[in-house]
Amino acid sequence: MALPGRCGCLAAATLALALLGCGSADERAASSAHQAVALADQEDEVCGMLLREQSAPRSQLVHRDGSRFFFCSLGDMLTYLSAPSPHGRVEALFVEVMGAGEDPMQSHTGEHPWAAAEEAIYLIGIPRPGIMGAPVLAYASQREAERAMQGHTGARMLDMAGLRKWWKATH
């Protein structure tokens, strides 16, 4: 049924915008996969520990099938990533990044900002009490990681590809 004049154009435009904005359920799920979610009562997929009780940085990932998994340490995340998953490939991977002013030797259980794992800078070799393996710290920028490295002669800075190579070689 055609609507005359101006009302018809407005109705058609509204309908077109509504159809474009809604998207399919798959599109909405894919969009939410590209966002980290806040910590609540999630348990680590590898060891079963309660995430909010563990020291940052923690991580989370979303598989192609929409399954979201959480890890109390970056070591557990790397262990999980090294094995095949029945949930399909990883669509999104997030890590908590440490604050520029935080002492890397201290435990920080408060929630931290989330960053895409591929964009974070990782530090290994800082003698910090580890949770589930050697401690791996994550920072939002190279400058923040360099600041945290000061005074730690054994520390090394890695990107995500370098971190995965290091993990594979040492575990």
18, 50: one domain? no
Both 79 and 128 in a single domain? yes
CA 46 to chain centre: 16
Q: What is the per-residue pLDDT across 66-110, written as a single tens digit (0 to 9) for each? A: 999 999 999 999 999 999 999 999 999 999 999 878 888 888 888
On whether the CB atoms of residues 170 and 112 are closer than 8 A, the answer is no
Residues 6+ away with beta carbon under 8 Å from 75: 130, 131, 132, 133, 134, 135, 136, 167
pLDDT at 51 over 60: yes
Give, for 91, the enclosing helix (H) or strand (E).
Answer: strand 90-96
Residue 111 has pLDDT above 80, yes or no: yes
59 and 78 both lie in a single domain: yes
pLDDT, one tens digit per residue, over 133-160 is 778 999 999 999 999 999 889 999 999 9
Q: What is the pLDDT of residues 4-39, one digit of tens each?
A: 454 444 344 333 433 444 444 444 445 566 799 999
Do 72 and 85 reside in the same domain of the chain?
A: yes
pTM of the model: 0.79
CB burial of 126-138 (b: ≥16 within 10 Å; e: otherwise) equals bebeebbebbbbb
- Number of folded domains in the chain? 2
CATH code (residue 83):
3.15.10
Which pLDDT value is given to residue 42? Answer: 95
Residue-range definition of the domain harbouring residue 105: 37-170
Q: What count of other Cβ atoms lies within 10 Å of the Cβ of residue 30?
A: 16
